[in-house]
Structure 1
Amino acid sequence: MPNPIRSMTGYARTRRVLNEGEIVVSLRAVNHRGLDLHFFLPVELTPYEPALRKTLSANVSRGHVEIRAHLTRNGGGSSLRINQPMLAGWIRAFREAAAAHGLSAEPDLNVALRIPGIMADPALEEIGEEVGEALSGAAQECLDLLNRSRAKEGQETAAAIRAHVARIREAADTMEAIRGGVQAALHERMQERLAELLRGASLDPARLSQEAALLADRSDVSEEITRLRIHTSQLSDLLAAGGEVGKRTEFLAQEMHREANTILSKSNAAGEPGRRIAELALSVKSEVEKIREQSLNLE
């Protein structure tokens, strides 16, 4: 069974109820060139960041991911207390600084209480084993939900890319069928142009055919069509294998875009067949651009 193709965007949220409260974990993922993890954890949960980072890195390979966790204890904020030694030290330092600079200002308790560490919850000073296990379980559950959502969107994106690939192949087949008429069109065009220039003078048919063949060779797009077909086959195989396909899909889209541009530049002098080939090359470029845009959201 092929590995799932995942998008880089998604959101998931889980909640675990504990004897002493509850933990809520949320994950939000958006596009990014590499893996970019950002943690938003309360102070009491920061010791678990390395373990969470390891879990996420093992399950997400690409994208900007925001990890948020919140721990709510039963009883709300009733256990909050002031860190008296820390507050006393701050007041003493404030007054010493005021005296040293000849200021008459007094400490502001509202300012002091906003200093990190002044207000403390004894219940949070020691996190029990239950909290750590609940956080780990909630994070893994949230990650599973996120990856299921990303896999669903990735599957839809892959289906859209396959449809674009099918239209590119169809255009390549049509260009190949038209290509056979290029030399005849160039021969006719050269004959008309030379007739104008020479005003009725006789033309050497062999020489004319030779020049038309040389011009047709310069306008030949068979190699580009072949490479275009190869790239579509490579992309189909890539999507069939699944897994991390985003960067490789983007690369193949760039290669197909290059072939389409070359076909366009070679078709200018090929008369009506060239015009039809150019129109098809433009349609290929449009399909390729859609593939490129969609690849930017794939892991």
Structure 2
Amino acid sequence: MLRSMTGFGRSEGSVQGSRLTVEIKTVNHRFRDVSVKLPKGWGILEPAFRSTLEDKLIRGRVEIHVHVSSTEQAGKLTLDRERLKQYADVLSEINQVLHTNLTVEATDHLFQAGVIRESEALPGLSVMTKAVIPLFEEALEEAVEMRCSEGKALQQDLLINLGSLKNLRAETEQSFLESRKDVYSMLKRKLEQFLHGTGMEEQRVVQEAAVLAEKADISEELSRMASHISQFYETCVSGSPAGRRLEFILQEINRETNTIGSKSGSEFVGRQVVEMKDVLEKMREQVQNAE
């Protein structure tokens, strides 16, 4: 099944009082172009992200955003009771050794190193790394699922337009086959009128008319177009990333369409060519979003 290059995935989680959010957005691009935005100092994660993406996303612009925020508990002041008791014990021991009765104000104890601590705003990087990788994989899977869903709809639209193109080609071929003898007769008549009085032999006129009729023959172009349409269908339903190949096939179909329009003098075929080019333009826009 065809896959779109449009997708979005988001995953959230908590670790030691901090909130982690991973977002992945993908849009169409000729190649795979990855942009990773991480909190300061988290650059170590980027190679792992890129490595995981290689097998999951073949083409497209990929934007990865990792957000981290602390909870209300972060930065809270806490009293280290054990540390405070140690300072008091040390003071008591000093008094025993020196046979003194030194005293310290209670507030002085509070400003000793380590007695009052501020909770860490964020856990360490190693802890966060272990937490963010699974979230990244979840967000990526969600983005891939969306690309598959969008691709299914894209494939259906392409096949509908391909059916229209196939019908237009068949109608053009039928019209050409029915009018081929008439085209020869018309060219012969015009040549006779143009060369009247020049003394050219009838056999020469017939030969010239045959040459002109052959130049106006679009059977080869119609045959190649039928082959390209079959290739497009097979590629579209192959299940492999095929966006660039589909673009190339459409270019070939468009080339044959232009040639048919320039070679045929039929008014009906001219109208068919206009309709075929309209369908091809729609398909070209659709294929640009295929992976």
Give the TM bin, normalised by the shorter chain: 0.7 to 0.9
Query: How many residue pairs align between the two structures?
Result: 250
Pair 1:259 & 2:256 matched:
yes
Partner of 1:184: 182
Q: CA RMSD in A?
A: 2.5
Structure 2 residue aligned with 1:250, among 242, 247, 251?
A: 247
% identity of equivalent residues: 30
Secondary structure of the residue aligned to 1:261 is: helix
SS class of match (1:241): coil
- Within a 5 Å distance, the mapping from 1:83-162 to structure 2 comes to 122=120, 124=122, 126-129=124-127, 131-162=128-159
CA distance in 2, matches of 1:28, 1:76: 31
Q: Report the counterpart of residue 196 of structure 2 in structure 1.
A: 198
Distance 1:166 1:226 in 2: 16
Given the alignment of the two structures, is residue 57 of structure 1 paired with residue 49 of structure 2, yes or no?
no
Any residues of structure 2 matched to 1:265-276 within 5 Å, and which? 265-268=262-265, 274-276=266-268
CA distance in 1, matches of 2:76, 2:242: 51
The two structures have a TM-score, normalised by structure 2, of: 0.78
* 1:175 matched residue in structure 2: 172
**1:146-176 per-position Cα deviation (integer Å, ceiling 9, x unaligned):** 1111111111111111111111111121122
C-alpha distance in structure 2 between counterparts of 1:76 and 1:52, whole Å: 30
**Equivalent position SS for 2:46:** helix
CA distance in 2, matches of 1:9, 1:136: 22
Residue 279 of structure 1 corresponds to: 271
Deviations 1:39-98 (A, max 9, x none): 110024322221111112221111111100112233465269xxxxxxxxxxxxxxxxxx
Partner SS for 2:42: helix
Q: Does 1:239 align with 2:221?
A: no
- 1:18-41 CA-to-partner distances (Å, cap 9, x unmatched) read 343221000111121111111110
SS in 2 for 1:70: strand
AA aligned to 2:233 is S
How does the TM-score come out when normalised to structure 1?
0.76
Higher mean C-alpha displacement, 277-286 vs 154-163 = 277-286
Counterpart of 1:47 in structure 2 is: 44
1:288 maps to 2:286: no
- Contact 1:183–1:212 (8 Å) recurs in 2: no
1:163 aligns with 2:160: yes
Native 8 Å contact 2:75 2:120 kept in 1 = no
* 30 and 69 in structure 1: CA distance in 2 versus 1, 3 angstrom threshold: same
Q: CA deviation at 1:284?
A: 1.5
- Which residue of the partner structure matches residue 90 of structure 1? none
Alpha-carbon offset, residue 278 of structure 1:
1.9
CA contact (8 A) 2:24 2:140 kept: yes
For residues 97-147 of structure 1, the C-alpha deviation after alignment (integer angstroms, 9 at most, x for no partner) is: xxxxxxxxxxxxxxxxxxxxxxxx955472243x32321111111111111
From the superposition, tell whether residues 125 and 137 of structure 1 become closer, same or farther in structure 2 (CA, over 3 Å). Answer: closer
Contact 2:11–2:22, Cα closer than 8 Å, also in 1 = yes
DSSP 3-state at the match of 2:237: helix
Equivalent residues of 1:183, 1:216 under 8 A apart: no
Does the 8 Å CA contact 1:187/1:208 hold for their aligned counterparts? no
Which runs of 5 or more residues in structure 1 are unaligned? Answer: 81-120, 269-273
The 1:243–1:79 alpha-carbon spacing in structure 2 relative to 1, beyond 3 Å, is farther
Residue in structure 2 matched with residue 25 of structure 1 by the alignment: 22
Worse-matched range after superposition: 6-15 or 32-41: 6-15
CA contact (8 A) 1:16 1:22 kept: yes
Once the two structures are overlaid, the 10-residue window that deviates more, 18-27 or 71-80, is: 71-80
Alignment of 1:217-236 (within 5 A): 217-236=214-233
Counterpart Cα distance in 1 of 2:256 and 2:66: 49
